[in-house]
């Protein structure tokens, strides 16, 4: 028994006043408070809601949503944007298109507002948010103007990226007014374009991108939550990929289940209505493991889960995600936002 | 072309030349006139006869006649036909000849009619010579004239620019005095200074200049040389000013000479602003040929400065179109090279439009670009200019000079133009300065910071990121780029006001500049770039804008997390990068004297995963900057993870952890003591908070004490470790006096004992110092406590002191017993005194718990009474050790008296305490109390 601990009880009582000393000041200090709180217990909350179609979703422009679905997005986490304004989209698109044109032809200066063979469009994604307090999502598209067909105003889409924040407000109480917090950034297109545009955003809004990898732990959460979703009809099988890190080549194990079977398994595991708990997730995965072990004598728990795909969405550990179901778009984004916020905090 | 003077000279030359040819021929041959020839023969015979000297030299009459004749013919021909200088020489020779002939005539006593023709021609020759030599005589006449400003109109009427010259001569006088001042500065104190100055003064007066100057120049050779050079220069300048004279017979030579003078002076000392003004006019007005103009331009090296007006005048010559393309190019190059030495630039800036228009000229374009690059300010960047430049770019393609200018435009107006420079290119302009490289250095030395060089933008490849790296990797701290306000959200009125006068970050180069512009600084677009700029860190240090700090902390926390090497297993190179990055962050924290919040958060997150090895020193340094928080809060986040690492690692790790904890304590104490003064003392909640924070510090000290006791046990009293522990307590013992905080924590007994019994003298020295400081602090605290007894009855300070004093007294008493043991002459006496002084059960001295052999053997298990024989053995050991200690101490104090003072004071104080304690009751037979005492002194 160390002498220090014996003193602990008395000292704790006395230092409770010190907390007042720090509380309630600036956002920075609040932020730090939340970090201290966070790191003291396990980072991921032990229970979450099963995603459900919210009423907000009705506002979403179906054409735009179609744009977001069935595409592979690379996910990035993003620190808050400084002095970003939703009213300046026109100006941003002018600047960004000039910037891209200048970067593409190294050394040749271009005039802002000139007619380039690319077009940048900034537009709002109305309705892609959890609550009214979430900042609105927005979409950036880069189109190539085809020289041959002038009548086609819509050119080929070269690159798409969008910024969103779904149910992030509850996690981000500490953002001051100069900042717009859109912690989740999804991009689809050439990596070089992403880096160009990301660089521009970093320079213009003093933010910082970093790729958002999804750990196996979170993948199994996703698997469980997405299996739990009620579907009218299933579009794809539920599929898992495990990777066995062995030389010379890594071994991949694919495990496909009929979605209705997966749902049946989940229903048998699931107890608390409307919520998913850590125990349920573990149990669900254990069931799958034991089933696999019975057939192939391989302990999947010793390998690494790298990909999960369900009818709702599919996610890869590299931070790639594809959303399939229109109904659960918000739910999937909410979880991704949570991951991104956890990363940037 | 044909002035009356030249016609006269021509006519005279031809006439005289023909005459002498005729005369010579008569002397040489009888063909022209037989009578005359025989007459000549006779005359020369008589000459030779009259001069016996000639005969002695072996010259007969024929030789004399023939040679004189030949000379006359030759000189005549030259005078008639050959132009330029030979004419004058021939003239001169003929004059001599005529004189000689006159002499001969006189010798033989000829009548006047015989030599009248020679006399006439001699006079004619003299006249011609005088007329021809006139242009050379003129300047020398001028030199003879004093500098009085009064000029002879006859001399200057013909000169094309008499007015300017007038100005020059007037200006030359102040220049003289300036030069003399300059020199006087150099030769201060020497007596030559007096004469020198006198000479100059006298010279400045009209009239009696020459003689006085002669006197002083005998003394001062160098002065004379200088004068000479200056005069030469003045002559040369005037010469150029007057312009070329085509008809002059020896024009080229003079020109050459003047140019040489000019070049020498220019490269040696530089030219005064006035001279440059005149010569620029000459060079650009196209009076002389291209080659000469080029040479003049090349030697336009300023002594110190160039006046703005002269540049403006010169530019106006460019508009007239009198000078060729090459001269224009050279002028622009000169302007670029000398740009720093132009005294003011306001009017030149007004000419921006003119320069911009000259971009059209293909040959001039690179140099004009460079000039514009130096000149361009924010207000010069206009949309029409941008368009013009872009058109030029289309016409000429990607020229580096255009690129540079365009990127500058982009810098000032990012909303108008966009360009990205290629990474590899480093040089954008041909070096215009290489023509004048050495001269420029000399000029700079002459100026010696008389005026600071204007801030210049540096176009660097730093703007582009290295291509190899991935875009989202962060370790590279971005370069400073000022933010363009236009593209950030709505513009407020204040933004408009600010952007008018704001100073871009890139132009910030010195601390005074920062101070002047601190209210209108354009902050960088990426706030984190301040990490690399020491100037901006000053700004960050005093800024209170939450947004700035937030921007910093967002970036920093993201980066730290992203790059952290024990999160993602990466290669060696990345580790190095991360280490460098951490080093930068630590340097910044040391500069700001506070820790970043994001670093703290990073520590909390990453410490549980740390292996205790990678980036160890950086990590431990980060640790020292944890902001002050309640210890009970930080313990589970931080110390609970650190402790296992601490116990299982090597002694070096332990030492470095202790060191960083020492620094942490210091930072906390500094923070607290600063904060204490800032806040009002009267508010009641403060006392409790202050008490709480005191408590937090005490807990930290206790915790470190606990750590070090275990560490000592683990490392078996290593001297190195002890040293670091005592370092920590050196901070601790002095808190009351140094930081004015009511904290006094004594060290654990185990540390005291192992320090006391250490075999290293330096440890003992340190220990003595610590005890001495404790004593000072205690007495100071006691004094103050008495003073404010009424205020603090049960407050924390009172608590700290009262609980600790007793404990401290006991320890110090122990220490005293040891010291007295060491210092007293006989061990026996010491034993007796120890038994008396220590509040212990009245047992044998050997059984005293303080002197228990546990300390010596380190056997923790041996608790309880020991056998008497074992006791005696131990006692003997103690005696032996004490002898050793004493011997060492004495040896040590012999060498240096350092130990003497603290020890003496301790002894004094202890003997005083002795008496106090002897008044107290001994513990007697109270078993519980004895047990308690034993436990207190038990190790661990």
Assess whether A226 and A191 both reside in one domain.
no
Whether chain B has a CB inside 8 Å of the CB on A194: the answer is yes
pLDDT, tens digit, for every residue of B525-575?
A: 777 788 877 788 888 888 777 788 888 888 888 888 777 766 555 567 777
d(CA B388, CA A65): 45
Rounded (to 5) percent helix, strand, coil in chain A: 40, 25, 35
pLDDT at position A162:
93
Tens of pLDDT along A114-131? 777 888 999 988 888 888
Per-residue pLDDT tens over the stretch B571-602: 677 778 888 888 988 988 888 888 888 888 88
Structure tokens at B612: 């205790």
Give residue limits of the domains in chain B.
4-133, 262-423, 510-602, 628-673+692-795
Q: Which residue has the tokens 């749902």?
A: A263
* A18, A20, A106: residue with CB nearest B420: A106
Q: At A160, is the secondary structure helix, strand, or coil?
A: strand
What pLDDT, on a 0 to 100 scale, did the predictor assign at position A160?
A: 93
B749: closest CA of chain A, how far (Å): 13
In a domain, A195, yes or no: yes
A125 three-class SS: strand
Give the pLDDT band (50/70/90) at residue B293. confident
In this structure, the answer to whether residues A151 and A233 fall within a common structural domain is no
Most confident of B196-205, B634-643, B743-752: B634-643
Calpha distance A250→A245 (Å, rounded): 5
User: A207 with A67, same domain?
Assistant: yes
With a CB cutoff of 8 Å and minimum separation 6, the contacts of B787 are: none
Closest CA to B811 of B697, B708, B680, B917: B917
The reply to whether residue B559 touches residue A343, judged by beta carbons under 8 angstroms, is: no
Task: Nearest chain A residue to B403 by CA: give it.
Answer: A107
Confidence tier at B153 by pLDDT (50, 70, 90)? very low
pLDDT of residue B225: 63
| Cβ atoms of residues B892 and B822 within 8 Å | no
Instruction: Establish if A45 belongs to a structural domain.
Output: no
Instruction: Quote the pLDDT of residue B612.
Output: 79
CB B774 within 8 A of CB B815: no
Give A37 to chain B, closest Cα distance, Å.
10
Q: Does B361 sit behind a cis peptide bond, omega within 30 degrees of 0 on the bond before it?
A: no
What DSSP character marks residue A127?
Answer: T
Q: Which segments of chain A have a pLDDT < 70? A: 1-46, 52-59, 146-154, 170-175, 345
Same domain, A163 and A254: no
Is the domain of A101 the same as that of A120?
yes
Distances (CA, A) of A105 to A157, B329, B407, B420, B873: 20, 31, 14, 8, 91
Q: How confident is the model at residue B244 (pLDDT cuts 50, 70, 90)?
A: low
> Which pLDDT does position A139 carry in this prediction?
92
| 3-state secondary structure at position A307 | strand
A308 and A242 in a common domain: yes
Q: A106: which chain B residues are within 8 Å (Cβ-Cβ)?
A: 420-422
Separation CA B630–CA B694 (nearest Å): 10
Please state, in angstroms and rounded to a whole number, the distance separating the CA atoms of residues A248 and B567. 25
A203 CB neighbours in chain B (<8 A) are 478, 481, 525-526
- Rg over alpha carbons for chain A, rounded to the nearest Å, is 23
Q: Compute CA distances A272 → A220, A226, A264, A267, whole Å.
A: 18, 16, 15, 10
Does residue A122 belong to any structural domain of this protein?
Answer: yes
Maximum average pLDDT range among B157-171, B318-332, B614-628, B645-659:
B645-659
Range scoring the smallest mean pLDDT among B5-19, B33-47, B420-434: B420-434
For range B39-54, the mean pLDDT: 80
Question: Is A49 part of any domain?
Answer: no
Question: Does residue A47 form part of some domain?
Answer: no
If pLDDT is split at 50, 70 and 90, which confidence band does B246 have?
A: low
Distinct helix (H) and strand (E) counts, chain A: 10, 16
Q: Are residues A87 and A223 in the same domain?
A: no
Range B80-90 average pLDDT? 80
**To the nearest whole angstrom, how far is the Cα of B428 from the nearest Cα of chain A?**
12
3-state secondary structure of B473: coil
**Residue A48 and residue A276 in contact, taking contact as beta carbons nearer than 8 Å:** yes
Report how far residue B537's alpha carbon sits from residue B477's, in angstroms, rounded to the nearest whole number: 14
Domain of residue A135, residue span? 62-105+115-211
B562 CB neighbours in chain A (<8 A) are 210
Query: Can you name the residues that pair with A179 across neighbouring β-strands?
Result: A82
Position B903 scores a pLDDT of 67
DSSP bridge pairs for A77 = A184, A210
Q: Which residues lie closer than 8 Å to A85 by C-beta, 6 or more apart?
A: B488, B489, B490
Q: Nearest-CA residue of chain B relative to A109?
A: B419
Q: Which of A9, A21, A93, A190 to mutate to test the interface with B (most CBs of B within 10 A)?
A: A21
- Asked if the structure places residue A302 within a domain, the reply is yes
CB contact under 8 A, B488 and A204: yes
Candidates A27, A85, A95; nearest CB to B489: A85
Q: Nearest residue on chain B to A99, judged by CA atoms? A: B418
Mutate to test the interface with A, among B489, B676, B709 (most CBs of A within 10 A): B489
Whether residues A152 and A266 share a domain: the answer is no
Which pair of structure tokens corresponds to residue B5? 């003077």
Q: What is the overall mean pLDDT for chain B?
A: 70
Element (H, E) at B696: helix B684-714
Q: What is the number of other CB atoms lying within 10 angstroms of the CB of residue B845?
A: 19
For the ranges B87-91, B427-431, B452-456, B528-532, which has the lowest average pLDDT?
B452-456
Is A223 among the domain residues? yes
ipTM of the complex, rounded to two decimals? 0.80
Which pLDDT score, from 0 to 100, does residue B214 have? 42
Domain contains A244: yes
The number of domains in chain A is 2
Q: Do B420 and A102 touch (CB under 8 A)?
A: yes
């Amino acid at each position: 028994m160390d002498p220090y601990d014996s003193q602990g009880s008395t000292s704790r009582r006395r230092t409770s006043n010190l907390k007042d000393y720090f509380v309630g000041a600036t956002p920075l200090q609040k932020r730090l408070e939340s970090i201290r709180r966070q790191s003291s217990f396990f980072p991921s909350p032990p229970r979450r809601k099963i995603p459900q179609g919210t009423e907000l979703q009705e506002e979403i422009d179906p054409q735009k949503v179609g744009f977001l679905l069935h595409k592979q997005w690379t996910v990035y986490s993003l620190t808050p944007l400084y002095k970003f304004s939703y009213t300046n989209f026109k100006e941003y698109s002018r600047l960004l298109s000039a910037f891209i044109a200048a970067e593409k032809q190294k050394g040749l200066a271009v005039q802002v507002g000139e007619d380039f063979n690319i077009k940048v469009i900034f537009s709002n994604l109305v309705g892609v948010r959890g609550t009214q307090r979430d900042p609105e999502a927005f979409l950036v598209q880069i189109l190539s103007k085809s020289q041959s067909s002038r009548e086609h105003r819509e050119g080929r889409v070269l690159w798409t990226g969008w910024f969103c924040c779904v149910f992030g407000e509850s996690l981000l109480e500490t953002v001051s007014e100069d900042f717009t917090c859109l912690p989740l950034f999804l991009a689809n297109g050439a990596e070089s374009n992403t880096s160009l545009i990301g660089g521009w955003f970093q320079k213009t809004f003093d933010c910082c991108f970093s790729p958002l990898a999804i750990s196996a732990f979170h993948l199994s959460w996703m698997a469980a939550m997405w299996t739990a979703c009620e579907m009218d009809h299933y579009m794809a099988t539920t599929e898992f990929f495990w990777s066995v890190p062995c030389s010379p080549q890594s071994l991949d194990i694919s495990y496909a289940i009929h979605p209705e079977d997966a749902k049946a398994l989940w229903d048998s595991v699931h107890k608390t209505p409307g919520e998913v708990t850590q125990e349920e997730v573990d149990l669900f995965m254990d069931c799958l493991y034991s089933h696999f072990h019975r057939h192939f004598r391989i302990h999947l728990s010793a390998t690494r889960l790298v990909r999960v795909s369900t009818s709702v969405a599919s996610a890869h550990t590299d931070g790639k995600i594809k959303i399939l179901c229109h109904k659960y778009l918000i739910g999937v984004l909410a979880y991704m936002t949570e991951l991104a916020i956890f990363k940037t905090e | 072309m044909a002035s009356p003077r030249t016609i006269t000279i021509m006519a005279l030359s031809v006439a005289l030349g023909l005459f002498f040819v005729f005369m010579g021929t008569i002397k040489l041959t009888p063909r022209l006139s037989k009578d005359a020839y025989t007459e000549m023969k006779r005359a020369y015979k008589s000459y030779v006869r009259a001069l016996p000297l000639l005969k002695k030299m072996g010259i007969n009459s024929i030789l004399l006649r023939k040679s004189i004749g030949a000379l006359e013919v030759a000189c005549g021909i030259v005078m008639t036909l050959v132009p330029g200088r030979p004419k004058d020489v021939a003239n001169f020779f003929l004059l001599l000849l005529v004189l000689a002939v006159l002499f001969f005539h006189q010798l033989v006593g000829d009548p006047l009619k015989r030599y009248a023709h020679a006399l006439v021609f001699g006079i004619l020759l003299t006249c011609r010579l005088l007329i021809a030599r006139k242009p050379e005589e003129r300047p020398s006449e001028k030199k003879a004239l004093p500098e009085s400003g009064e000029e002879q109109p006859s001399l200057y009427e013909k000169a094309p620019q008499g007015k300017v010259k007038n100005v020059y001569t007037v200006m030359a006088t102040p220049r003289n005095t300036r030069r003399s001042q300059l020199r006087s500065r150099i030769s201060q104190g020497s007596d030559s200074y007096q004469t020198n100055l006198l000479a100059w003064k006298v010279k400045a007066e009209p009239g009696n200049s020459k003689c006085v100057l002669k006197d002083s120049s005998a003394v001062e050779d160098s002065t004379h040389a200088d004068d000479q050079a200056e005069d030469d220069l003045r002559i040369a300048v005037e010469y150029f000013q007057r312009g070329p004279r085509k008809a002059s017979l020896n024009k080229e030579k003079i020109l050459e000479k003047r140019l040489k003078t000019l070049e020498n002076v220019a490269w040696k000392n530089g030219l005064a602003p006035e001279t440059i003004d005149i010569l620029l006019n000459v060079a650009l007005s196209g009076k002389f040929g291209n080659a000469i103009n080029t040479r003049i331009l090349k030697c336009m090296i300023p002594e110190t400065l160039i006046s703005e007006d002269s540049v403006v005048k010169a530019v106006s010559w460019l508009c007239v179109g009198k000078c060729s393309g090459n001269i224009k190019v050279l002028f622009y190059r000169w302007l670029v090279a000398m740009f720093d030495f132009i005294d003011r630039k306001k009017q030149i800036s007004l000419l921006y439009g003119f320069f911009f228009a000259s971009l059209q000229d293909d040959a001039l374009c690179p140099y004009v670009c460079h000039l514009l690059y130096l000149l361009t300010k924010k207000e010069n960047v206009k949309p029409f200019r941008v368009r013009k430049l872009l058109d030029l770019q289309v016409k000429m393609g990607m020229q580096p000079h255009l690129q540079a200018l365009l990127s500058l435009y982009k810098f000032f107006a990012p909303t108008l133009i966009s360009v990205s420079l290629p990474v590899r290119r480093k040089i954008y302009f041909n070096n215009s300065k290489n023509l004048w490289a050495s001269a420029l250095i000399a000029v700079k030395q002459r100026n010696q910071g008389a005026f600071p060089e204007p801030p210049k933008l540096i176009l660097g490849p730093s703007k582009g990121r290295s291509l190899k790296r991935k875009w989202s990797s962060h370790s590279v701290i971005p370069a400073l780029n000022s933010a363009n306000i236009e593209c950030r959200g709505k513009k407020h009125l204040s933004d408009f006001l600010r952007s008018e006068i704001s100073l871009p970050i890139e132009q910030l180069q010195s601390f005074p500049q920062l101070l002047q512009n601190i209210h209108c600084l354009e902050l960088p677009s990426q706030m984190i770039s301040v990490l690399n700029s020491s100037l901006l860190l000053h700004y960050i240090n005093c800024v209170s804008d939450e947004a700035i700090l937030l921007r910093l902390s967002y970036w920093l926390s993201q980066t730290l997390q992203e790059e952290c090497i024990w999160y993602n297993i990466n290669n060696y190179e990345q580790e190095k990068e991360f280490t460098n990055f951490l080093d930068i962050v630590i340097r910044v924290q040391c500069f700001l004297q506070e820790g970043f919040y994001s670093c703290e958060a990073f520590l909390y997150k990453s410490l549980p995963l740390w292996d205790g090895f990678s980036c160890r020193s950086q990590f431990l340094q980060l640790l020292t900057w944890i902001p002050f928080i309640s210890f009970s809060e930080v313990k589970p986040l931080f110390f609970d993870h650190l402790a296992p690492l601490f116990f299982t690692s090597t002694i070096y790790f332990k030492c470095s952890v202790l060191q960083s904890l020492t620094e942490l304590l210091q930072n906390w104490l500094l923070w607290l003591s600063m904060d204490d003064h800032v806040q009002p003392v009267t508010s009641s909640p403060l006392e409790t908070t202050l008490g709480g924070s005191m408590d937090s510090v005490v807990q930290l000290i206790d915790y470190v004490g606990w750590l070090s006791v275990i560490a000592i046990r683990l490392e078996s009293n290593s001297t190195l470790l002890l040293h670091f522990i005592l370092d920590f307590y050196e901070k601790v013992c002095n808190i009351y006096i140094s930081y004015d905080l009511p904290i006094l924590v004594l060290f654990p007994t185990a540390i005291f004992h192992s320090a006391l019994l250490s075999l290293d003298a330096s440890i003992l020295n340190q220990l003595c110092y610590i005890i001495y400081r404790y004593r000072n602090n205690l007495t100071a605290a006691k004094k103050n406590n008495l003073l404010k007894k009424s205020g603090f009855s049960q407050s924390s300070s009172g608590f700290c002191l009262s609980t600790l004093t007793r404990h401290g007294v006991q320890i110090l008493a122990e220490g005293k017993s040891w010291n007295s043991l060491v210092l007293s002459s006989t061990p026996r006496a010491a034993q007796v005194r120890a038994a008396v002084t220590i509040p212990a059960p009245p047992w044998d001295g050997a059984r005293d718990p303080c002197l228990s052999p546990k300390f010596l053997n380190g056997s923790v298990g041996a608790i309880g009474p020991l056998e008497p024989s074992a006791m005696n053995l131990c006692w003997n050991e103690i005696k032996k050790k004490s002898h050793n200690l004493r011997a060492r101490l004495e040896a040590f104090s012999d060498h240096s008296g350092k130990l003497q003072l603290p020890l003496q004071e301790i002894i004094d104080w202890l003997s005083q305490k002795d008496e106090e304690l002897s008044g107290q009751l001994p513990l007697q037979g109270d078993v519980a109390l004895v047990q308690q005492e034993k436990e207190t002194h038990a190790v661990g």
